[in-house]
């Protein structure tokens, strides 16, 4: 069952990248302007190893370079993660103004974890950072295993993304037994919230969005492969639900729902689709989903 899932992840991720390659114009970029989507398109294309038509990664990098980095809302943490992670797969030098550990500074817990991991990638992680990580995790994770993105606010999507980042921190520093325990407790919380049809992200901000499903599937597969065995039946339910929403052209809706499904090129400003927030765009979340699927397919 596990090998079949991994094959399904890879096939889905590659099909999604092929779709993104088609809609990413050489001059115009994506149809709806992303914030960090070009960085993750670059990373996912490289991660696919056979790079879609040998051009997608370079197109994405070129449009990333053209973005306005002076915008105070520029999502540095996501861009730094993608570009520093991409160094494992490409010898193409990152432009100097992008090749450093910069921060936007958003105070949500998932952004805090992202900054800690980026410091690891940039060789700037200190004993103080490690102390802050232990304190913050103890504050933001409840006894149930739920990780809060902000205090007193539950979101299963951002819980899942925090799990994704904890998995990344464990992978880069596997000696941290306490972090494995926190991660395992969080995974167990998510497993308890998988419904009979695979629905998993039905509480809080970002309900049923592909950003959370990509993070959740990778977290489940990472825990199952590297930490402890999980219920393959539950993992399969989540996998089946997500993959069932992939369209013929390889794309995914941003929110998984059967009733009143989104159009293939939905924009928040024009369509205000149900379940979207003002910062949502297909071309941030689809590249992230592709990356998660490809990453999960590699776990052994």
Using CA atoms, how far apart are residues 47 and 35, in angstroms rounded to an integer?
Answer: 20
> How far, CA to CA in Å, does 112 sit from each of 116, 154, 176?
6, 17, 18
Question: What pLDDT score was predicted for residue 60?
Answer: 96
**Domain assignment present for 147:** yes
**Domain assignment present for 70:** yes
**Domain assignment present for 269:** no
Regions in the chain scoring below 50 on pLDDT: none
Question: What pLDDT score was predicted for residue 92?
Answer: 84
**Domain assignment present for 36:** yes
Containing domain of residue 158, as a range?
Answer: 2-260+275-297
Bridge partner list, 141:
147
Predicted TM-score of the model (pTM) = 0.97
Question: What pLDDT score was predicted for residue 138?
Answer: 98
**Domain assignment present for 6:** yes
**CB under 8 Å to 279, separation ≥6 — which residues?**
35
- Domain tally for the chain? 1
Question: What pLDDT score was predicted for residue 203?
Answer: 98
C-alpha neighbours within 13 Å on the C-beta side of residue 146 = 17
Neighbours of 192 (CB within 10 A): 11
**Domain assignment present for 270:** no
**Domain assignment present for 284:** yes
**Domain assignment present for 268:** no
| pLDDT, tens digit, 9 for 90 and up, residues 191-202 | 999 999 999 999
Question: What pLDDT score was predicted for residue 90?
Answer: 87
Question: What pLDDT score was predicted for residue 51?
Answer: 62
Written as one string, the DSSP assignment of 2-35 is: HHHHHHHHHHHHHHHHHHHHHHSBTTTBSSS--S
CATH code of the domain covering residue 59: 1.50.10.10
| pLDDT, tens digit, 9 for 90 and up, residues 113-161 | 999 999 999 999 999 999 999 999 999 999 999 999 999 999 999 999 9
Question: What pLDDT score was predicted for residue 52?
Answer: 64
């Amino acid at each position: 069952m596990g090998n079949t899932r991994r094959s399904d992840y890879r096939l889905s991720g590659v099909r999604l990248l092929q779709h993104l390659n088609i809609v990413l114009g050489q001059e115009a970029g994506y149809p709806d302007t992303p914030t960090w989507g070009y960085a993750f398109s670059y990373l996912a294309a490289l991660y696919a190893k056979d790079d879609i038509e040998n051009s997608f990664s370079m197109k994405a990098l070129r449009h990333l370079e053209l973005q306005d980095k002076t915008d105070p809302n520029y999502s540095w943490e996501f861009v730094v993660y993608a570009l520093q992670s991409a160094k494992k797969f490409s010898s193409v030098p990152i432009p100097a103004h992008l090749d450093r550990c910069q921060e936007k500074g958003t105070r949500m817990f998932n952004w805090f974890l992202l900054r800690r991991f980026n410091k690891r990638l940039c060789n700037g992680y200190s004993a103080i950072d490690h102390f802050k990580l232990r304190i913050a995790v103890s504050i933001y994770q409840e006894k149930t295993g739920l990780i809060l993105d902000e205090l007193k606010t539950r979101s299963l999507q951002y819980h899942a993304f925090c799990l994704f980042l904890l998995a990344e921190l464990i992978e880069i520093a596997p000696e941290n037994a306490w972090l494995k325990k926190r991660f395992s407790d969080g995974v167990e919380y998510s497993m308890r919230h998988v419904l009979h049809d695979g629905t998993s992200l039905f509480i809080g901000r970002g309900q049923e969005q592909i950003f959370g499903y990509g993070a959740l599937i990778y977290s489940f597969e990472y825990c199952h492969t590297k930490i402890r065995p999980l219920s393959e039946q539950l993992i399969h339910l989540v996998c089946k639900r997500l993959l069932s929403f992939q369209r013929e052209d390889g794309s995914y809706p941003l929110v998984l729902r059967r009733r009143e499904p989104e159009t293939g090129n939905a924009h928040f400003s024009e369509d205000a689709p149900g379940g979207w927030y003002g910062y949502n765009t297909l071309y941030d979340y689809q590249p992230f989903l592709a990356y998660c699927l490809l990453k999960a397919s590699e776990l052994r």
